[in-house]
Amino acid sequence: MFERTDKKKELLDSKRPLPEYTVKSIRENTLLEWTYNTNAIEGNTLTLLETKVVLEGITVGGKSLREHLEVINHRDAILYVEEIIKNVEHISEWQIKNIHRLILKGIDDSYAGRYRDQQVIISGAKHIPPEPLLIKEQMEGLIGWYEAEGIALHPIARAAILHISFVGIHPFIDGNGRTARLLLNLELMKSGYPAVVIRNENRLAYYTALDKAHTTGDKEDFIRIVEAEVDRSLDIYLRFIK
């Protein structure tokens, strides 16, 4: 299923160590596109260029404090994910809560890093997340799956299913989508793949595939979306690294 991406990753790995400044520039561009797109999917109205200047410490007139914080917080969450990978840490509920805490820092501190205590619905989706009392048990089950069945899967499939399962539980009041996409990339990057960007322009297919996975158990469409984005990210590196 992943033959093409595996071959591209093998080619990229054969070129390591990669040129320092090329990698640095690709990383900075990915951080920008990742932050812009993940926030745009959730309704943030900052453009790509506006997101860039906010990351540089400049305030954009006419935009809310929340929109500015969503950019800064997401960058900080990416840096935290990179630290997890650098330190070769195992995924845990504690890590997930820390990622979420960074996402909502200064936006909703009362719920930052805390599982929800209220029932919610996912706008536009048929799937209904579990009641609050079941969240702790289901999150423990997710970590258990990851440490057992998940480890045996191809890294792309494992990352995609981790994302699907986390969103299905929807453990937080807000920020689940951003946290899920950070977990997706955490898992990919741990396995040596470049980070992927789920683009705002593809959000309909993204949401449709997620809801299909939650309501029918058929995860293939979503895994294919992730595989396509991994392929795209590998192409970016291979294009600039000769």
CA 229/CA 6 separation, integer angstroms: 13
d(CA 28, CA 119): 38
Q: Read out DSSP for 99-164?
A: HHHHHHTTT-TTTTTS--SS----TT-S--PPPHHHHHHHHHHHHHHHHTTGGGS-HHHHHHHHHH
DSSP characters over 75-96: HHHHHHHHHHHHTTPPP-HHHH
Tokens coding 33: 């596109």
Known catalytic residue at 170: yes
C-alpha–C-alpha distance, residues 24 and 34, integer Å = 15
Distance CA 217, CA 210 (A): 10
Asked whether 219 and 164 are in contact (CB, 8 A), the reply is: yes
Whose tokens are 């929807």? That residue is 170
- For residues 215-231, one letter each, b for 16 or more C-beta atoms within 10 angstroms of the residue's C-beta and e for the rest, the string is eeeebebbbebbbebbb
Of the candidates 74, 100, 170, 214, the residue annotated as catalytic is 170
Block residue for tokens 């309501």: 215
Distance CA 83, CA 57 (A): 22
Amino acid at 47: T
Catalytic site positions: 170
